[in-house]
Copies of this chain bind each other. A is one copy, B any other.
């Protein structure tokens, strides 16, 4: 039993033409009240996420909601609590965490191949698609924030941002985010709806090696650079010493061909069947929102860094088992 609800009849008719066995409705309540349906996917404007997810959970459905989980940390917390009480799976569509390239990147960091992580910088640029209800920060930065938290295995402790709105009044279409992670690691994210090129690139600079993840590439998404610069161990920054630069080879690992969206959906189904906690569960979605909120506040405060509220037991679910399975030995 598959049912699709939408407010637009033309979209529904397109779906029926393509998937003739799918039932469609203009009234989402028909979907929520249908007892044959166990799980729903919420892909609606962000401002409606909190209400629709709540209603779905109350109706006893498992829920996969598009990112960001909601437009505020407070409502996201409520949903997490509700899902826990009703023993339903609540998962957020941070699709990139199901991308094999991201998994390779994470392993490079976690196994220490890059050394200590100095900093990361990310660009997610494009011409369009302008959103009407959220700015570019809420639209595009969730991808990079979720990837960086997953890859670095840490959560930002402070966030700032500056940006500007050029095309739509009051809705930023360009933004630069500045994240402070523990252990002096920093990250910068540049998001834009207003750029001539499609860019989706994340660079991670470590003390031993560096890596670039370029998602626009079809095959060669990850490059590992065996390059670094070394300062002698005991220097005070004033004495005479020589830095040494190391330039080694570049490695482009072969990635398993996989469709992240399919892996995400299969993971959702598996979590429903087995009760496993999703890789991108409500708490992960909440933490992304907890970074977006101070970054958004910073936009109108001159770019100052604001603290990111910390979770009690952050990342306890990120035990690495789920993502390991994505990359066959």
Contact = CB atoms under 8 A, between A and B. Distances in A.
A190 interface: yes
Interface in A210-256: 210-212, 218-220, 223, 225-227, 229, 231, 235-237, 243, 245, 247-254
B303 A229 contact: no
A121 interface: yes
B164 A186 contact: yes
B212 A197 contact: yes
A130 interface: yes
- Counted per complex, copies of this chain come to 4
A173 B205 CA distance: 12
Contact of A196 (B168, B174, B225): B225
A253 B243 contact: no
A254 B243 contact: no
Q: Name which of A168, A218, A250 has the most chain B CB atoms within 10 A of its CB.
A: A250
A119 B166 contact: yes
Main secondary structure of the interface of A (DSSP, over half): strand
Contacts of A250: 220, 251-252, 254
Interface in A30-50: none
A171 interface: yes
Contacts of A194: 118-119, 205, 229
Contacts of A21: 20-21
A112 interface: no
